[in-house]
Amino acid sequence: MLAAVAASPGLDALDVVRVDALGKQGRITQLLKTLGAMSPDQRQVEGPRIQGLREAVAAAIAARKDALEAAALNARLATETLDMTLPVDAAPAGTIHPVSQVMDELSEIFADLGFAVATGPEMETDWHNFSALNIPDTHPARAMHDTFYLQQGVDAKAAGTADERTTVSLLRTHTSPVQIRTMLANKPPIRIIAPGRTYRSDSDATHTPMFHQVEGLVIDRGITLGHLKWTLETFLKAFFERDDIVLRLRPSYFPFTEPSAEVDVGYTWTKGKRVIGGDPDKMRGDGPNGGWMEVLGSGMVHPKVIAACGLDPAEWQGFAFGCGIDRLAMLKYGIDDLRAFFDGDIRWLKHYGFSALDVPTLSGGIGAAA
């Protein structure tokens, strides 16, 4: 048997020898079964001899198996080659969410216009979120159906112990409180944008309880609506990367600006798709060739807001504007359902997401291929 083990040319042949010797019906197994019929004296002699044979054969089989496996590996290594010039498989990588990408695009554009990025807390006081912005207690925006109030603030107001300037009472409903905090902490001139998360008690196909907003603020001497219009035109042309952007300013009302204007951008239909910009003659009305779409709210900062921040409205003027970042992303990258932004669907993120290397620059291009 030891000779058969040593002569086995491969692993399959070796396994045949193993079964023939040590299997359930193997020869050594059969010898072990004969021990039961022997006398004690015979068993004392034959038992160690048969057991020794079993161990010797098992050890020989294991050694031969190691030798055959080593020989097979050496033969494989001698014949296989690895082409080091082939590209490696791409490792799994995450993507940049469209909202984050658009925030970077906005920061890049407004930085070129001399704006800084300002941030503030998402849990705010009544004063920063409402009163300082000329929104009185009776304004509908303060109602529970529109605002997420924090229990600690509600309880304090009910007890008559709340100071709306210091008591954190709600989740901010816009990023305008960042404008107030900036004017309180810095002397003019001021040029900032304030991107971030905001919260309102609203949820349907076109609204979510949490959404993203960017607001801009300029405070300086001699600021007019002309400066506002030029800034918004320059921003939208850079953002949509088109020179044929046409704006329309419609009179509107916001408590914190006076005069106020809704900003519409003209669009045309191209191959069945709505395209921002195009021939102004096609934008008349809202027909099959084009029309107008609201994208921004804006206006001159109300004198009461400037005064609330300790500045003299007779000396300092300014303009402010705001829009939804989610809406800008939908318009630019052809996304038709707001809810998908918050679903966390990996397939959607892979399709609309951006590579971490697609950093927007004015020289290389603000928009990147999604």
Q: What share of the chain is helix, strand, coil (3-state, %, to 5)?
A: 45, 20, 35
User: What is the per-residue burial (b if ≥16 Cβ within 10 Å, else e) of 231-258?
Assistant: bbeebbbbbbeeeebbbebeeeebbbbe
Structure confidence at residue 306 (pLDDT): 96
C-alpha 366/C-alpha 239 separation (Å) is 7
C-alpha 180/C-alpha 87 separation (Å) is 54
239 with 328: CB under 8 angstroms? yes
Q: What is the pTM of this model?
A: 0.71
Cis previous bond, 48, omega within 30: no
286 with 269: CB under 8 angstroms? no
C-alpha 169/C-alpha 157 separation (Å) is 9
Torsion of CA 358, 359, 363, 365, to 10 degrees: 50
Cβ neighbours of residue 202 closer than 8 Å, sequence gap 6 or more: 146, 208, 209
- Cβ atoms within 10 Å, residue 219: 24
Structure confidence at residue 370 (pLDDT): 42
Structure confidence at residue 206 (pLDDT): 64
Cβ neighbours of residue 55 closer than 8 Å, sequence gap 6 or more: none
Alpha carbon 259 to chain centroid, angstroms: 37
Q: Which two tokens stand for residue 11?
A: 């692993």
Structure confidence at residue 44 (pLDDT): 83
Write out residues in the chain with pLDDT < 50, as ranges. 369-370
Beta bridge mates, 325:
none
Structure confidence at residue 287 (pLDDT): 65
Q: How confident is the model over 301-356, as pLDDT tens digits?
A: 999 999 999 999 999 999 999 999 998 998 888 888 888 888 888 898 889 888 88
Structure confidence at residue 299 (pLDDT): 96
Cis previous bond, 188, omega within 30: no
Structure confidence at residue 204 (pLDDT): 66
What percentage of the chain has pLDDT greater than the value 90?
41
C-alpha 333/C-alpha 369 separation (Å) is 9
175 with 120: CB under 8 angstroms? yes
**What pairing do the DSSP bridges indicate for beta strands 116-117 and 190-199?**
parallel
Structure confidence at residue 278 (pLDDT): 80
Structure confidence at residue 26 (pLDDT): 78
User: What is the per-residue burial (b if ≥16 Cβ within 10 Å, else e) of 328-345?
Assistant: bbbbbbebeebebbeeee
Structure confidence at residue 156 (pLDDT): 75
